[in-house]
């Protein structure tokens, strides 16, 4: 608008009209209800972390292939604000389990299936985390096998002394266990209640009603009455707690005393609900005792206290789970696992014993993200850093050979300054270039769609069902055509042209990178690689370097897309129109200079979208609080 053949309105008139419409829309959205707050089941990653934190375990309860990169030393120390110059990592999904680390997972404990990412989203989306009867049975079995595992012992469990060990004392008036010569049965009963009070608050993320705690205590006492030892009784009751919906689900309840003037749609979350939201966002787990204490006293939501707690959580090593989980899903790096470039064309990609260079590629963008997080750098450095992380084998891949050693299991990556503008950042890294290619050639449309969806959070519509796939070219065709020429037929279709005009410039801009990320100036047939295009229908470019400069010039698009991705991950749902004013404010702050990673994360956690829930009118009317502990 207007049609191509008609003159456009004057620029001043367009600016005035757009500003007026934006103001009207913003005002209308300020009072619109947020998307409904749905009940959330823990996904597999959250379940593992929650059990580890609840029972204070020293290792994971089962293997997590979601963690694409494994740290092989304790280098992740966000409180120092500094990454070391060299790190040791590995990539289990792409390599064999032959390292010298102690086994990952408890004996006899098998994980449930990995939860899938939502389309253009994350694996913590509440509306995707369903619970089938088969999966429910799997959870119940899992809770029992965890507490029955021989690896749940005093060596692996820091909570052993206050949770599983037989009592030698009864709780005193000061809340601590004091020596007592009371009847052993009475001492055990007192110890059970004392321990369950702490455990249940952690597990259910709220103050537990005395009647609920008493039911669990009676259950444990019944185990003792049948001849079970104190340790066995506590193992059984812990297994029961891990199988409860109150542990497995995060849910938020209506508060009729905390409604806005509109009577629903926007309510402040309670302090306990806020504690859970913070823990899920930053730790992929349950709140710790510090958060729960502040929630119980009603202080957590006070802005100054909330701000200091967010800082504490971001400095905690448990925030490494955010770096394990978010960037790999944001960048869709799981696609790299199935990338298999043609061995005949790319022999350097394959190492001995079936190892692939891709397991070195996958660490490069993840280490960049960790560095931006730990050192609280500008999120723009995700696109254009002045350094990268590489090892000899990854460097050799960029050069198109494999003569660089065979550190295939544990890899040593070094932080390396960059002087070549063609290298660096998540868009042009070898991992992304490889996973968006076929085994034999690049895919500009796939690459362009990836940039649109991941970098700008603007995924294209699915192609029409009757569009034929691009056939693999014969040697004769390759001798005559470039990929751009072969794709011209798709772009000429009227129903395809709109999307191609948006996708193609982003994809063809990356054509200098071959199917494994190796730079090329010509195709195999000798034709020059043409990367020229028009970005956002307004900026012409002829080279990759010009393209990257234009992306940085239009950095507001990336900032908005990245913040929208973070907000979706933090809320466990897709952002809705009511969230738009919040995103606008966050983008404005970042554009004004507050674009450091932790500043952005903190701003999201203190935003109205994060601090509010939507309770439907019928829920408010009924105000039912189902006691799922029955």
How many whole angstroms separate alpha carbon 280 and alpha carbon 122?
13
Q: CA nearest 569: which of 151, 123, 24?
A: 123
What Å distances lie between residue 13 and 17, 24, 29, 547, CA to CA? 6, 17, 24, 30
Q: Which residue has the higher pLDDT, 336 or 351?
A: 336
CA 413, 419, 420, 426 dihedral sign is positive
pLDDT tens-digit map of 229-283: 999 999 999 999 999 999 999 999 887 665 554 445 789 999 999 999 999 999 9
Mean pLDDT of the chain: 87
How many whole angstroms separate alpha carbon 479 and alpha carbon 481?
6
Per the CB < 8 A criterion, the answer to whether 111 and 430 are in contact is no
Asked whether the predicted pLDDT for residue 529 surpasses 90, the reply is yes
C-alpha 69 chain-centroid distance: 13
Asked whether the predicted pLDDT for residue 469 surpasses 90, the reply is no
Per-residue pLDDT at 98: 40
How many whole angstroms separate alpha carbon 484 and alpha carbon 507?
10
Per-residue pLDDT at 553: 96
Q: Which residue has the higher pLDDT, 29 or 420?
A: 420
Q: Which residue has the higher pLDDT, 215 or 112?
A: 215
Question: In the 8-state DSSP scheme, what is residue 262?
Answer: T
Name 259's bridge partners.
Answer: 267
Give the lowest-confidence range in 75-79, 259-263, 358-362.
259-263
Q: What angle do the packed helices 597-605 and 363-374 form, to 10 degrees?
A: 70
**Which regions of 290-448 does DSSP assign to beta strands (E)?**
387-390, 411-417
Asked whether the predicted pLDDT for residue 336 surpasses 80, the reply is yes
Asked whether the predicted pLDDT for residue 180 surpasses 60, the reply is no
Q: CA nearest 142: which of 107, 109, 106?
A: 109
Instruction: Give me the half-sphere count of Cα atoms (radius 13 Å) on the Cβ side of residue 498.
Output: 7
Over residues 533-543, mean pLDDT: 93
Q: Which residue has the tokens 């003159």?
A: 7
Per-residue pLDDT at 157: 96
pTM: 0.90
**Which regions of 108-180 does DSSP assign to beta strands (E)?**
169-171, 177-179
Q: CA nearest 129: which of 117, 139, 119?
A: 117
Per the CB < 8 A criterion, the answer to whether 242 and 51 are in contact is yes
Q: 543 preceded by cis ω (within 30°)?
A: no
How many whole angstroms separate alpha carbon 103 and alpha carbon 63?
9
What Å distances lie between residue 61 and 147, 243, 522, CA to CA? 11, 15, 50
What Å distances lie between residue 257 and 344, 487, 610, CA to CA? 69, 60, 20
Asked whether the predicted pLDDT for residue 595 surpasses 50, the reply is yes
Q: 2 preceded by cis ω (within 30°)?
A: yes
How many whole angstroms separate alpha carbon 366 and alpha carbon 413?
12
Q: CA nearest 158: which of 56, 274, 276, 272?
A: 56
Q: CA nearest 374: which of 621, 74, 588, 158?
A: 74
Over residues 453-470, mean pLDDT: 79
So where are the chain's domains?
40-62+106-250, 65-104+319-438, 443-460+472-509+521-553
pLDDT tens-digit map of 18-66: 777 777 777 777 778 888 888 999 999 999 999 999 999 999 999 888 8
Per the CB < 8 A criterion, the answer to whether 205 and 286 are in contact is yes
């Amino acid at each position: 608008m207007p049609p191509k053949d008609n003159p456009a309105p004057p620029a001043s008139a367009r600016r005035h009209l757009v500003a007026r419409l934006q103001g009207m829309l913003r005002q209308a959205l300020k009072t619109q209800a947020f998307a409904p707050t749905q009940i959330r089941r823990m996904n597999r990653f959250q379940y593992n972390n929650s059990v580890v934190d609840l029972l204070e375990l020293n290792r994971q309860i089962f293997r997590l292939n979601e963690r694409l990169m494994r740290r092989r030393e304790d280098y992740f120390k966000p409180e120092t604000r500094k990454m070391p110059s060299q790190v040791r990592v590995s990539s289990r999904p792409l390599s064999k389990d032959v390292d010298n680390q102690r086994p990952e997972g408890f004996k006899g404990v098998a994980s449930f299936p990995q939860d899938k990412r939502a389309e253009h989203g994350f694996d913590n989306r509440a509306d995707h985390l369903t619970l089938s009867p088969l999966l429910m049975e799997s959870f119940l079995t899992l809770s029992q096998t965890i507490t029955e595992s021989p690896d749940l012992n005093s060596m692996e469990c820091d909570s052993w002394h206050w949770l599983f060990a037989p009592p030698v004392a009864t709780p005193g008036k000061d809340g601590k266990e004091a020596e007592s010569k009371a009847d052993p049965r009475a001492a055990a009963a007192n110890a059970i209640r004392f321990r369950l009070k702490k455990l249940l608050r952690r597990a259910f993320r709220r103050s537990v009603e005395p009647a609920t705690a008493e039911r669990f205590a009676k259950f444990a006492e019944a185990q003792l009455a049948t001849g079970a030892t104190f340790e066995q009784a506590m193992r059984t009751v812990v297994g029961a707690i891990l199988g409860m919906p109150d542990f497995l689900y995060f849910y938020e309840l209506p508060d009729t005393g905390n409604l806005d003037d509109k009577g629903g749609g926007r309510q402040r979350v309670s302090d306990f609900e806020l504690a859970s939201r913070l823990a899920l966002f930053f730790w992929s787990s349950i709140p710790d005792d510090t958060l729960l204490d502040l929630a119980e006293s009603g202080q957590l939501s006070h802005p100054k206290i909330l701000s200091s707690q967010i800082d504490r959580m971001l400095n905690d090593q448990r925030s490494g789970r955010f770096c394990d989980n978010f960037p790999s899903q944001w960048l869709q790096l799981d696609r790299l696992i199935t990338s298999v470039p043609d061995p005949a064309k790319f022999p350097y990609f394959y190492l001995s014993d079936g190892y692939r260079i891709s397991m070195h590629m996958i660490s490069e963008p993840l280490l960049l993200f960790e560095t931006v997080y730990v050192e609280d750098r500008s999120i723009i450095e995700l696109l254009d850093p002045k350094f990268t992380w590489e090892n000899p084998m990854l460097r050799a891949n960029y050069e198109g050979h494999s003569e660089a050693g065979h550190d295939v299991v544990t890899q040593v990556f070094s932080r390396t300054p960059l002087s070549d503008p063609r290298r660096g950042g998540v868009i042009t890294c070898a991992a992304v270039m490889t996973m968006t290619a076929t085994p034999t050639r690049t895919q500009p449309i796939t690459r362009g769609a990836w940039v649109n969806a991941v970098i700008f959070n603007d995924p294209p519509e699915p192609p029409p069902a009757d569009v034929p796939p691009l056939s693999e070219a014969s040697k004769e065709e390759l001798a005559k055509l470039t990929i751009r020429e072969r794709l011209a037929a798709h772009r000429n279709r009227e129903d395809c042209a709109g999307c191609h005009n948006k996708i193609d410039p982003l994809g063809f801009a990356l054509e200098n990178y071959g199917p494994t990320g190796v730079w090329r100036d010509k195709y195999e047939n000798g034709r020059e690689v043409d990367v020229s295009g028009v970005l956002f229908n307004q900026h012409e470019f002829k080279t990759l370097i010009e393209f990257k400069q234009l992306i940085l010039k239009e950095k507001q698009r990336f900032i908005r897309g990245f913040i929208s991705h973070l907000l979706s991950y933090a809320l466990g749902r897709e952002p809705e129109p009511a969230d738009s004013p919040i995103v606008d404010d966050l983008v404005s702050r970042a554009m004004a200079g507050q674009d450091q990673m932790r500043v952005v994360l903190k701003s999201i956690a203190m935003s109205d979208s994060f601090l509010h829930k939507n309770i439907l009118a019928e829920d408010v009317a009924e105000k039912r609080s189902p006691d799922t502990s029955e």
